[in-house]
């Protein structure tokens, strides 16, 4: 059976993840996993950013904006 382009692309992604040992979740940053956007955080004041990071369960001191 011949695969179409989409099936080959999906197979490539799956094989790459298996070979490289990465999953999509591992490639995401803590900010993304917490539902935060780094670009939006950059435009916040330090106090606003601290509050948002703390509410997301993250340690504000670990991030440098």
Query: What is the pTM (predicted TM-score) of this model?
Result: 0.56
pLDDT value at residue 54: 94
Half-sphere exposure of 2 (CA within 13 A, CB side): 2
B/e letters for 15-49, b = 16+ CB within 10 Å, e = fewer, are eeeeeeeeeeeeeeeebeeeebeeeeeeeeeeeeb
CA dist 62 and 46 (Å) reads: 13
Note the pLDDT tens digit of each residue in 20-65.
Answer: 665 555 556 888 888 999 889 999 999 999 999 999 999 999 888 8
**Predicted pLDDT at 61:** 92
């Amino acid at each position: 059976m011949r695969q179409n382009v989409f099936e080959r692309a999906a197979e490539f992604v799956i094989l790459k993840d298996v070979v490289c040992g990465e999953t999509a979740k591992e490639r995401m940053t803590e900010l993304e996993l917490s539902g935060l956007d780094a670009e939006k955080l950059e435009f916040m004041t330090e106090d606003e950013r601290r509050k948002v990071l703390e509410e997301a369960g993250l340690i504000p001191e670990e991030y440098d904006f």
